[in-house]
Amino acid sequence: MLTILGFAMIATFLVLIMMKKMSPIAALVLIPALFCVFVGKGAHLGDYVIDGVVALAPTAAMLMFAIVYFGVMIDVGLFAPIVRGILRFCRADPMRIVVGTALLAAIVSLDGDGSTTFMITVSAMYPLYKRLGMSLVVMTGVAAMANGVMNTLPWGGPTARAATALKLDASDIFVPMIPALLVGLLGVVVLAYVLGLRERRRLGVLTLDDALVGEKTGATEPETETVLAGAGAGAGGGAGAASRPGRSTPAAGGSGAGSGTDAGEPHDEDDFQGLDPARPTLRPRLYWFNALLTVTLLTAMIMEWLPIPVLFLLGAALALSVNFPHVPDQKARIAAHADNVLNVSGMVFAAAVFTGVLQGTGMVDHMAEWLVGVVPESMGPHMALVTGVLSLPLTYFMSNDGFYFGVLPVLAEAGAAHGVSPLEMARASLVGQPLHMSSPLVPAVYVLVGMARVEFGDHTRFVVKWAALTCLLILGAGLLFGIV
């Protein structure tokens, strides 16, 4: 019964947010509370929620101060050289912009933290997508998949969890997986290219006046660059696009790829100005200090000198104090990022209710046992393949901790009985990470959709099929190379 209720709770949550019948925060709180009563454990709801909050409080604290820290770094222009390089590559071409999104997300993901990756990527790319009327779910989807592939780095989390759960060395798991992961990353770039071509066809002929505000310092008159793009052949998307600045000729039609664009939405064109080259918050004289501070912070994260929430707390305080020595300026910077801080931290604590009920009632354990039990005995010698396939739904519907510490040891034991090594099982367990990064249980995804002003349901509808395909591509490459 708990198995059925567990799957029913997750399905209800996903259906309601994808149909936009409830906001994610409301759904994360009310649906598990209702199912907790159905299970007959309503009296323990408070305990489950508190347990969930205690478990996710460090994550919420990390996100709060990470948003402030990287928000300040963006304000002062630390990432301007990287952004300018990507934007020079992108120009006004939708195809290049989408590919640039994938490349930027992959590069920034080297720090091992999804939240910082999404903050930097969205801050750099959002003005381009907004100005040119491109689909924002394409941006969030591509960024999430690129980060999901890179999330398998030993300091990213999943690999360390797999190594800990099966008592293995993280490098023994990760290094042989590099060829398969490179294939997955190449697949994301190819997908970005295809989606970019689709956006180019949908939008027609584009021009770029001041969309690339990050690289036009000192220009006396706007530079106009035209990208020749064939008009789309479908219906829709063209009328709303014609009214946007930066477009010389309205598109004749669209391909329908624009789910999540802002056409027809009341958002103001100038409600996101993260890359203004003349902004008063720039601190060019402190560039190398900020660069050294950031490198030190990331090194401390990787080396685990202090807990990550503590590192970001100290980093945010130091960055504010040095870059903005006057208290009113510090308050202004905190206020400027308060909206993102509140949205993300609120979502994390709401997710604590969901995970607390899922784990406290025992639903997640029963779901894992049922999934392991339905694997036929004849599949025993192929348990690595089974683990790779199961990692897609399991890491999406439960936390990485739940999967790697609760399910993977059980699967590994079953595999060992049929001669499958723990290393093969551990490598196969990493396959589902591109899909996991868009799970409603991952706090970083709320940073992504929140900053991009995309509905979580729209993001989910768009990204799930492509992320699952990326996962299967990694699994296929792993099997072809004999890694899993």
> For residue range 283-304, what is the model confidence (pLDDT) as tens digits?
889 999 999 998 898 788 767 7
Decide if pLDDT at 271 tops 90.
Answer: no
Q: What are phi and psi of 270, to 5 degrees?
A: -105, 20
Decide if pLDDT at 359 tops 90.
Answer: no
Distance CA 364, CA 195 (A): 36
Decide if pLDDT at 246 tops 80.
Answer: no
208: which strand partners? 225
Query: Whole-model pTM above 0.85?
Result: no
Segment among 8-22, 195-209, 223-237 with least mean pLDDT: 223-237
Helix%, strand%, coil% for the chain, nearest 5: 70, 0, 25
Percent of the chain with pLDDT over 90: 24
Helix (H, G, I), strand (E, B) or coil at 243: coil
Under 8 Å between Cβ of 232 and 253: yes
- pLDDT score for 260: 42
Distance CA 58, CA 63 (A): 9
Q: How far is CA 299 from CA 119, 158, 233, 389, in A?
A: 19, 19, 50, 34
Under 8 Å between Cβ of 248 and 230: no
Q: How far is CA 208 from CA 87, 94, 241, 263, 428, in A?
A: 12, 11, 14, 18, 44
Arithmetic mean of pLDDT, 196-223: 58
Residue 230 DSSP label? P
- Find where tokens 């993260």 sit: 274
Q: What are phi and psi of 206, to 5 degrees?
A: -115, 150
